[in-house]
Amino acid sequence: MASAGRVKKEILTICKPDNTSGVIAQVAPDDKHVPSKPGWRHLTGSITGPEGTCYEGGVFDVDILIPKEYPFEPPKMRFITKIWHPNVSSQTGAICLDILKDQWSPALTIKTALLSLQALLCSPEPKDPQDAQVAGMYLDNPAEFNRTAKSWVKTHATPKSASSKEDAIGRVCEMGFDRGSAIKALEKSKWDESAAVNALLGM
């Protein structure tokens, strides 16, 4: 069983703003539990794109599920934010990283796992890909890979300003949805307008 004490201690640490590491996590909004209770195990992590990479300027959200056997089993992680990377599925956000599989150790933590994901953004492993199409582009056409990755950062991972959020709300409302529903759908979809509209349409 997951140690409630250890999980609580980890989250109290990783929830604190940390401008040096660029990673943070919080309890997922849909988790009904609280850190002091054993059932609490659904988090949302956030990774800042490393400077000097094609992911610079992006903020990437990661879904984190802590299994009952944690820390003897690794946390289950996947990218919520769409990212163009050889070791991350461009469709599902599934991640290919050894420490999230057979190289996990109970000595590791949720924070070190997030830091390892951040390091993966600096050093992709195209020969052990999660997404063969992306890995092929990375190996065969690095310039096109960088252009695509930067475009995805701009589209999916760039934090929205207050004015751009208001513009997005206006565009969704113009499609016939009320403001409250539009805001709720946009927030849930991380301000991805297409995803928000699809959700409102029940697609």
Token pair for residue 144?
């096109």
One-letter amino acid for residue 169 of the chain: I
Contact residues for 193 (Cβ-Cβ < 8 A; gap 6+): 168, 171, 172, 186
Active-site residue list: 96
Nearest partner of 197 among 186, 179, 187, judged by Cα: 186
Burial 159-190 (b: 16+ CB within 10 A, else e): eeeeeeeeebbeebeeeebeeeebbebbeebb
> Do the Cβ atoms of 137 and 38 come closer than 8 Å?
no
In the chain the first and final C-alpha atoms are separated, in Å, by 37
